[in-house]
Chain A
Amino acid sequence: MTTGFQKALDRVTRVRGVRGAMLVAGDDGLVVAESLMEGVRGNALAALAASLAKRFRRASETAACGLPQFIHLQASQGSLLAAPAPSGMLLVVVAEADINVGLARLEMLKAGEAIA
């Protein structure tokens, strides 16, 4: 199972501009598997990204838009991408500012299906 998670992360980290990826337990905000560059605090990122995704889900449901499928947070020096996986996990990616978001999104959704 752990190898499956790692394969899913490898698929995403191969995309140019991805600085790291991690699988997070959606409800708990704990790290399940990670492949991050040095200097990124995995546990902090997991907890905060899961909290953010939870709030987005609430906002999206309140707006009658259904469940969020992909979250893209664009910051001044990079991007944070998140895709809820069907298994209840959250796939989180830290990326460069100039990443090809469409390609990253595609690979993240495929990776999410692979770990379902």
Chain B
Amino acid sequence: MTQTRAVEPWTLDPLQHFVGESAARLALLTTTSGQVIAQHGFTRAVDVMSAAALGAAIAASTSEIIRMLQEPAFRMLSHQGQSHGIFLARFGTPRGPMLALVVYGGDSSIGLVQLFFEQFTRDLAAACPAPEPAKPVLAADFERDLHESLAALFGR
């Protein structure tokens, strides 16, 4: 069974709603550096980590080209394959900028994904709790935090 899981619980309802409406097969919500916030449809941690890293790299390299062209900031990219399409977008939230990587099949379309993505960003902004003061990052906590995130994303 395909599941939606989130490290940040407030993202879960908006993501589930978006996936349900857009018929997306895979969806990944990350920070701009590729830290995973929520996912739908992935079954293996290694796939999530690879997709997050690649999505962040694509967004970063595209942002750089956009900067060279003196265009406004990167917003979205879309690739239409034979049986799957990929949609990658950067958007703002009260918790800072985020990336969404969405993979859809023949039962959806880029038009549907774009349409419901607009609603998704609004839902996320509405659900986002007030920003917490930044905590110091301690090496001792790293492994525990990593395991907690993986457990939240994959239920292990």
Contact = CB atoms under 8 A, between A and B. Distances in A.
B72 interface: no
Contacts of B112: 29, 47-48, 50-51
B109 A48 contact: no
Nearest to A49: B111
Nearest to A47: B111
A25 to B, nearest CB: 8
B109 A43 contact: no
A93 interface: no
Nearest to A51: B112
A67 interface: no
Interface string B105-130: 00111111011000000000000000
B80 interface: yes
Contacts, number: 37
Measured as residues with beta carbon below 8 angstroms from the partner, the interface class of chain A is 10 to 19
Majority-rule SS of A interface residues: helix
Contacts of B110: 28-30
Given A30-B111, A46-B111, 4 more contacts: A29-B112, A29-B115, A48-B112, A50-B112
A28 B80 contact: yes
Nearest to B23: A51
A47 B80 contact: no
Nearest to B111: A29
Given A28-B110, A29-B110, A30-B110, A48 B115 contact: yes
Nearest to B80: A28
Nearest to B85: A28
A47 B119 CA distance: 14
B115 A44 contact: yes
Interface in B75-114: 80, 107-112, 114
